Amino acid sequence: MTDTREHGIIVIGASAGGVEALQRLAACLPPTLPAAVFVVLHIGPRFSALPEILSRAGTLPACHAVDGAPIRPGRIYVAPPDHHLLITPGQMRLSRGPRENRARPAIDVLFRSAAQAYGPQVVGVVLTGGLNDGTAGLVAIKAGGGITVVQEPDEAKCPGMPLSALRHATIDHRLKLDDIPGLLARLAGPVPAPDPGMLPPEQSWTDLEAGLNEGYDLARPLALTCPTCGGALAETQDSALPCFTCHIGHRFVAADMDEAQFQAMERVLEMALRVLNERAALCERMAGTWHGKGFDELAWRWRAARDEAREKAEVLRGFIENGWLRPDPDGETGDA
C-alpha cells in the first residue's frame, strides 16, 4: 500500500533471534532518519548490551530509554531489562508494572501506548519471535490509523510472532528483513510535537495502565485464576486474540496462558514428587531404626509405607516426563 503521511514514531518488537535481526535492521537505517525508533526485545532481567550492539551496527545512536526523558529524532531507544517501555506525548516512560505474556518488557505495552499517544503517526514492526507478543499491539496501532509491518515468517529464525500477527491483525507490509529499513526510511517523518490537550507528562503509571487495559470487566471474573499471582481473571471482549488479565494487571493471550498454566502445573507436580521421595526416605530410615530395636512388625509397616510412596512417585514421574497434549499456540504453526 501507499501512505504519504509522515510517521515520526517507529516501534519494533522482537524475541528469539531478535538480536541479529535488529542488528541487520539498524545497519541499514539512514543517519538522517527523522523519526524516533523504540525497540522492545525479550531479554533477561539483569543486563542488556543491546544499545551498544545497535550503535556499533549502524549510524543511529542507540541507548536505553530513561523514564521521563524527551523523545528525540534520529535515535534508537531500547527498553531496559525488567522494565516496560511506554510512550506518552513528547516523552518516554518506564515501569516495572505487571508482566504481559509473561514478559517484562512486553512488546504489546509499547505498541499500545504508542497507538494511544500518536495514533496515525506510528509505524509498528514485528520481527522474529515465538508465540504472540506484539499481535494485540499491532491491532491497536492499526485501529489508531498507523502502519503495520511484519517480517516474512519464512525467513524469521522463529516465525511465531510474525505468523500470529498475520493471522489476527491487518498487516500493511509483509517484507523480508532486508527490505524493512528502506520502507521505514520512506515512511519516516519528524517526531510529532506534543499536543497540550493530550496526556500530561506527570501522569502516573496507574493512570497509564488504566487507559491501556480498557475492555476488561473484572466485576465478572472467569472461573480461572492468574498463574502468576492466583487472582481472578477476566477476558477482554475487544481484542483480535482472546486475552486475560487479573486485578494486579498480569495479562496473557491464550497461548501464553496455556504455557503459564503448564509451567505452574509442572511446578506443583515436581513439588509433590519431592514430597513423595522425602516420605520414602523417611520411611526407609524409620524401618531400619525399628528393625534394629527388634520391633519387626512396626518396621514392616514402615517398609510398606516406603514402597507405597515409591510406587506413587513413579506414577507421578510418568505424568511429568511423558508430556501433555498442548494446543497449537497462536502464531506457532499454520499458514498465513
How many DSSP H helices and E strands does the chain contain?
A: 9, 12
95 in catalytic set: no
> Which one-letter amino acid corresponds to residue 217?
D
Please indicate whether residue 15 is annotated as part of the active site: yes
Which of 7, 42, 84, 173 is flagged as catalytic? 42
Under 8 Å between Cβ of 313 and 273: yes
Catalytic residue among 7, 15, 168, 258: 15
Question: For residues 161 and 101, what is the distance between their CA atoms, to the nearest angstrom?
Answer: 12
42 as an active site residue: the answer is yes
Residue 64: other Cβ atoms inside 10 A: 17
Interatomic CA distance for residues 95 and 283, integer angstroms: 50
Q: Are 105 and 79 in contact (CB under 8 A)?
A: yes
Catalytic hit among 83, 84, 95, 133: 133
Quick one: the chain helix, strand, coil %, rounded to 5?
Answer: 40, 15, 40
Quickly tell me which residue has 507405597 as its cell: 308
92-96, long-range: CB within 8 Å, 24+ apart, which pairs?
92/38, 92/65, 92/66, 92/67, 92/68, 93/67, 93/68, 93/205, 93/208, 94/65, 94/66, 94/67, 95/205, 95/208, 95/209
Q: Which residues make Cβ contacts (< 8 Å) with residue 48, sequence separation at least 6?
A: 41, 64, 78, 80, 81
**Residues 278, 318 contacting (CB under 8 angstroms):** no
Residues annotated as part of the active site: 15, 42, 133
